[in-house]
């Protein structure tokens, strides 16, 4: 009944993908504990002036850049209230920007920088991030603690945990993040994680075929929904890279309903 829109760099590289479901009549959500409360993108270290001018020209409100763990961070909310951050990242990031987009390559978003998770009982969730997933604790700043995945220069490497013992719980709806995805290199690794997490007492879904990846879902101890998704088969599984995003693609089990779905789904403007 709705589109499943994927946004990313030109190849749909893992670490660059943000998904939207456009539910026309959905109720507004509320960000709070038990949710991912900020999505951060990596941009070149010199690009923040460009982005502030771009947001001002588009009449978007944004906060003045702040320093966090030695990096400049530009924060704003999208039209539905989704918190977005652009981080001036000096690392040699392995993700390439979308070369044919409306933003010059020298200023364009590379991939995710990381995500902020707000928790009332952070001590229950930190062992999963640090000991099970193997993220390294890098630094603390007040209520915030930063973790980094292994792999120098890898995109989407950071997880920030906000410890908010008196924080108000969030509510799912527009302007909130539904889930956060972590990478598995293939189906064998995904099977390992499904078994391992189940043995830890977490309620893990069966493996789900999402056409472009296979994934499992579970809620971590503070209630945030996590996904672990495979890198393959990737977004070129059913169309060439040159035309990614230009046509309605359906999983095989829905192809026989194409005419019906094309009547129901609203028209969208295809990016040039």
What's the CA gap between 222 and 22, in Å, rounded?
A: 27
Asked whether 153 and 113 are in contact (CB, 8 A), the reply is no
- In the chain, which residue ranges form alpha helices assigned H by DSSP? 48-57, 122-127, 187-199, 258-264
Token pair, residue 207, equals 């493996």
Handedness of CA 152, 157, 158, 159 (dihedral sign): negative
Residue 271 pLDDT: 58
Give residue 53's pLDDT: 98
Contact in structure between 86 and 183 (CB atoms under 8 Å): no
Looking at residue 24, its pLDDT comes to: 84
Which neighbouring-strand residues pair with 43?
88
Q: What is the pTM of this model?
A: 0.94
231, two tokens: 């890198």
pLDDT of residue 131: 97
Residue spans of the chain under pLDDT 70 = 92-94, 152-153, 270-272
Are residues 149 and 107 in contact, defined by beta-carbon separation less than 8 angstroms?
no
Tally Cβ neighbours within 10 Å of residue 179. 14
pLDDT on residue 220: 98
Give dist(CA 77, CA 191) in Å, integer: 37
Q: What is the pLDDT of residue 92?
A: 64
């Amino acid at each position: 009944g709705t589109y499943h829109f994927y946004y990313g760099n030109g190849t749909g590289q893992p670490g660059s993908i943000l998904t939207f479901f456009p539910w026309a009549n959905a109720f507004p959500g509320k960000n709070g504990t038990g949710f991912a409360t900020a999505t951060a993108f990596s941009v070149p270290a010199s690009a923040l002036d460009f982005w502030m001018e771009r947001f001002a020209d588009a009449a978007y409100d944004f906060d003045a850049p702040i320093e966090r763990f030695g990096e400049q961070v530009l924060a704003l909310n999208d039209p539905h209230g989704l918190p977005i951050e652009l981080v001036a990242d000096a690392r040699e990031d392995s993700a390439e920007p979308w070369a044919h987009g409306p933003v010059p390559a020298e200023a364009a978003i590379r991939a995710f920088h990381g995500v902020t998770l707000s928790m009332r009982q952070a001590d229950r969730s930190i062992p999963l991030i640090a000991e099970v997933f193997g993220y390294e604790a890098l630094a603390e700043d007040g209520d915030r603690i930063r973790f980094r995945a292994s792999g120098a220069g890898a995109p989407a490497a950071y997880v920030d945990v906000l410890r908010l013992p008196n924080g108000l719980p969030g509510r799912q709806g527009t302007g909130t993040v539904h889930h956060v995805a972590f990478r598995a290199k293939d189906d064998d690794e995904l099977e390992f994680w499904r078994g391992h997490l189940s043995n830890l007492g977490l309620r893990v879904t069966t493996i789900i075929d999402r056409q472009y990846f296979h994934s499992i879902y579970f809620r971590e101890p503070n209630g945030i929904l996590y996904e672990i998704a495979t890198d393959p088969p990737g977004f070129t599984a059913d169309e060439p890279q040159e035309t990614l995003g230009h046509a309605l693609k359906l999983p095989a089990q829905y192809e026989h309903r194409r005419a019906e779905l094309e009547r129901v789904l609203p028209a969208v403007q295809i990016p040039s």
